[in-house]
A = this chain, B = another copy of it.
């Protein structure tokens, strides 16, 4: 059983999630490659040392450059703010190391393009942190669609709605500045990626993006609170996406509903262990949405629990990601979603801003 030294950059919300994931993934998935928590870097040497002790890394780095350069660091996980993603990834690829990067890929479309170029030039495994799309439930929905369980799809509606800035009295914080930290930059990528994963490329869209609360505590906010887009997939199917950080009452509103000629599917991450499936078959009197609880019969569930309905949680998604990144490194084969998925998502969001500016339908440039 081979070991691999993990270098983690960032120890906040997602940094911790990845630290836990690399602690647990070996036991959960019996991975051929076993992670060793080698080194952690953060905003300052002191915070890096604090995280090191808390999460059980062997060493703390003074700066992410030291981590990237360290010979015992054999794979890099980026969980620092979006503005840092590009420089770190480029350095890591230059050093010939595989990179896992949290979403969004970069702070801008240009960043994302550069990062894909760097990844592909290096030939190193690369992945992006679209974790929600990897739950047992959404993986199962992807299978259902692929098998034609609901026939030809005719409509897709997705949303990612939360309410952490719903209260206008919440003072401005870092999330209120810069496009990459706005609702479209920060929240939208997850659901755009989901739409692409389940439905294929988006051909064109018409969007509107808004700042609902223009000032907070007297300070002017410079990015968006919510946005929506009508769209047409390359398959011809019509759809709609909505994203909001001011969706009062919504805590984890990563949700979608999909209509097809033979059935329909609904999912809401707030009840992440249930998929609602309708099939237009059998007597009318017994038709309806079936609430399927995830269990060992669904993708990537069994390693977490033998009991159906016992449920996986947020942290488990990150463990699944860690398994996939280790697998990409171990096999040398790309594991979806790679940086290209991050770029595809960035293009959709960039097009949405363009459409919001002129109020017209815009084609989405394909990679």
A278 to B295, CA, bound (A): 16
Identify the stretch in A19-27, A195-203, A215-223 within 8 Å (CB) of chain B at 4 or more residues.
A19-27
Determine how close the nearest CB of chain B comes to the CB of A42; give it in whole angstroms: 15
**B244 and A242 contacting across the interface, CB-CB below 8 Å:** no
Interface string of A176-213 (1 = CB under 8 A from B): 00000000000000000000000000000010101010
Chain B residue nearest in CB terms to A30: B54
Q: How many chain copies?
A: 4
Nearest-Cβ distance from residue A193 to partner chain B, whole angstroms: 17
Chain B's closest residue to A132 (CB) is B310
Contact with A285, one of B26, B154, B292, B305 (Cβ below 8 angstroms): B292
Contact B306 A315 (CB under 8 A): no
User: Given A140-B285, A251-B295, 19 other A-B contacts at CB below 8 A?
Assistant: A20-B28, A23-B24, A26-B55, A27-B54, A28-B315, A155-B247, A162-B307, A208-B230, A226-B238, A247-B259, A248-B260, A251-B309, A271-B274, A284-B295, A285-B295, A286-B290, A312-B315, A315-B316, A359-B361
Whether A259 pairs with B230 at a CB distance below 8 angstroms is: no
| Pair B249/A259 contact, Cβ less than 8 Å | yes
Contacts of A34 in B (CB 8 A): 56
The stretch of A59-67, A79-87, A94-102, A262-270 that contacts the partner chain = A262-270
Could you list which residues of chain A lie within 8 angstroms of chain B, going by C-beta atoms? Answer: 1, 13, 16-17, 19-20, 23-24, 26-28, 30, 34, 53-56, 140, 150, 154-155, 157, 162-163, 166-168, 206, 208, 210, 212, 225-226, 228, 230, 232, 238, 240, 242, 244, 246-253, 259-264, 269-274, 277-278, 280, 283-293, 295, 297-298, 304-316, 359-361
Question: Is A252 within 8 A of B157, CB to CB?
Answer: no
CA distance A264 to B162 in the complex (A): 12
Q: Which residues of B contact A247 (CB under 8 A)?
A: 155, 259, 264
25 A-B pairs whose Cβ atoms sit less than 8 Å apart in the complex: A23-B27, A24-B24, A26-B55, A27-B56, A30-B55, A34-B56, A168-B261, A206-B359, A226-B238, A228-B230, A228-B240, A250-B264, A251-B307, A252-B307, A269-B309, A283-B297, A284-B297, A284-B308, A290-B291, A291-B291, A304-B314, A311-B311, A313-B315, A313-B316, A359-B360
A289, B268: Cα distance in complex, Å: 15
Closest to A261 in B: B168
Report the nearest B residue to A307, measured CB to CB.
B252
Is A288 a contact partner of B293 (Cβ separation < 8 A)? yes
Closest to A55 in B: B27
**A259: which B residues are within 8 A, CB to CB?**
166, 244, 246-250
**Nearest-CB distance from A276 to chain B (Å)?**
8
Known A-B contacts A206-B206, A248-B150, A313-B311; A288 and B291 likewise in contact (beta carbons under 8 Å):
yes
Decide if B154 touches A212 in the complex (CB within 8 Å).
yes
Picked from B19, B27, B226, B248, the residue with its CB within 8 Å of the CB of A264 is: B248
How many angstroms between the C-alpha atoms of A156 and B284 in the bound complex?
A: 26
Give the CA-CA distance A24 to B315 in the complex, in Å: 11
Residue from B1, B17, B26, B269 within 8 A of A23 (CB atoms): B26
Residues of B with C-beta under 8 A to A360: 359-360
